Amino acid sequence: MKRLLLFIPIVALLGCQKVIDIDVPIQPTKITANTLIDNDVVWTVDVSKSKYILEAAWQFDSVTNAVVKITDETLHTTLDLPHLKNHRYASNQKPIPGHTYTLNVAVDGFETVTSTTRIPDAIAIKEARWDSTDIMITPLNFRTSVALYVTFDDPPGVRNNYEIALFGRYTPMQFPGQPVNTDTTVSYIQIFHDDPEIYSPEGSADGMLMHRFSDVAFDGEEKTIKFMVPTDNYSVHKMILRLANQSGDYSKYADTRWLQFRAQGDPFAQPAAVYTNINGGYGIFAARTFSVKSWDVPKQ
């Protein structure tokens, strides 16, 4: 469809490109602080500087002399994050779900940037049930999928933003004559659904690797989602289902970042500003909290 629609304009546009000068005023450089933190990893903050739009984008200047602090507003304690390498500042502590934190990044010669976020509570997966009698065969490639029902309770009265993903733990292929490889890797497994209550274009944008949605349609209710999972994940020996509860900031940032990514190169799209909650600078300070269910997969 998209190709069909773009057929005429693209043909017409071919060969009609011309580099032009547009007088874009140089904006003052600001500090960028990025922390998208998960509840199961230690605090990290990436600190860099913004750049003029017409500079090459591949590298951003690292800031190695920043004073980075994270204050737990619930416990009234402050954590210093020393510089680790490149842009990164890190500590050896993890965030605590339900606590509110304030980020403070001070760099000589720049405005100090701050931001506050709350680590969301974990939402438990109540049930993950396979139904091997409910199968679907995808046309054309004859791929078979089986139903997986996932149930959880949505807390009432608050806007929760979820993300569901399924992972498989693989053992790499063994080839004759090579040393036995006992390592395992974890990768996403594609999962599909046709539940309109959890559909959003932004939330299903990652090729069915994960699904993000809010509880607008089922606030305070028990929610069961039926996913179809392809059965051709032959070397998987363990499956891990992950339900993440994202903070509102996290969700807004992910949605708008995806919108901007999608709009780039589309002559018919409206430009999209990416959400930022960093006062005095750019970037994001947001978190998500996981709950996990896993099970072993019998050898096929």
Partner 1 sequence: MRLIFTVILLIPSLVFAQRFTISGYVRDKATGESLIGAAVLNKKTTQGTTANVHGFYSITLPRDSVNLVYSYVGYSPIQLRFVLKRDTAIDVSLVSANQLDEVVVNATKVDEIQETTQMSSVNIPIETVKALPALLGQVDLLKIIQLMPGVKSSEGSTGLYVRGGGPDQNLMLLDGVPVYNASHLFGFFSVFNADAINRVELIKGGFPARYGGRLSSVIDINMKEGNMKKLHGEGSIDIIAGKFTLEGPIKKDRTSFLVSGRRTYIDALITPWVQKKRVEGRPGYFFYDFNTKLNHIINRNNRIYLSMYTGSDKAYTIYEKTTNQGNDVLDKANSSLQWGNTIAAFRWNSVLGPKLFSNLTTTYSRYNFHIASNQSRTVFFPDTTRFQEFHSEYISGIRDWSAKLDFEYTPAPSHYIRFGTSAINHRFSPGAFTYNAENKPDTTLGATTIDAWEMSAYAEDDIRIGDKLKVNAGVHASAFSVQGRNYHSVQPRLSARYLVNPELSIKASYATMMQFIHLLTNAGLGLPTDLWVPSTSAIKPQQAYQVALGIARLYKTDYEISVESYYKRMTNLIEYKEGASFLEVRDTWDKKVATGGRGESYGAEVFVQKKTGKFTGWIGYTLSWTNRQFDEINNGKWYPYKYDRRHDVSVAFTHEWSKRMDFSAAWVYGTGNAITLPVTQYMQDVEGSSTSEYMRAIYNYGDRNSFRMRSYHRLDVAFSFWTDRKWGRSKWSVGAYNVYSRKNPFYIDLITQGNSRKFAQYSLFPIIPSVSWSFKF
The residues in 44-103 that bind partner 1, with binding defined as CB under 8 A, are: 44, 46, 48-57, 60, 86-87
| Binding-site member from 75, 96, 124, 136 for partner 1 (CB under 8 A) | 136
Kind plus residue range of the DSSP H or E element containing 160: none
Kind plus residue range of the DSSP H or E element containing 289: strand 282-296
- With binding defined as CB under 8 A, does residue 270 bind partner 1? yes
Beta pairing class for 83-85 and 125-138 = unpaired
- With binding defined as CB under 8 A, does residue 30 bind partner 1? yes
- With binding defined as CB under 8 A, does residue 272 bind partner 1? yes
Q: Which of residues 179-198 bind partner 1 (CB under 8 A)?
A: 196
Nearby residues of 25 by Cβ (< 8 Å), 6 or more positions away: none
Report the residue number, 17 or 133, with the smaller CB distance to partner 1: 17
CA distance 243 to 122: 9
Report the residue number, 9 or 156, with the smaller CB distance to partner 1: 9
Contact between residue 192 and residue 209 where contact means Cβ atoms under 8 Å apart: no
- With binding defined as CB under 8 A, does residue 38 bind partner 1? yes
Q: How far is the CB of 251 from partner 1 (least distance, A)?
A: 10
Coil, strand, or helix at residue 260? helix
| Binding-site member from 27, 174, 181, 300 for partner 1 (CB under 8 A) | 27
Report the residue number, 36 or 105, with the smaller CB distance to partner 1: 36
Contact between residue 224 and residue 154 where contact means Cβ atoms under 8 Å apart: no
CA distance 149 to 193: 10
| Binding-site member from 82, 109, 177, 267 for partner 1 (CB under 8 A) | 267
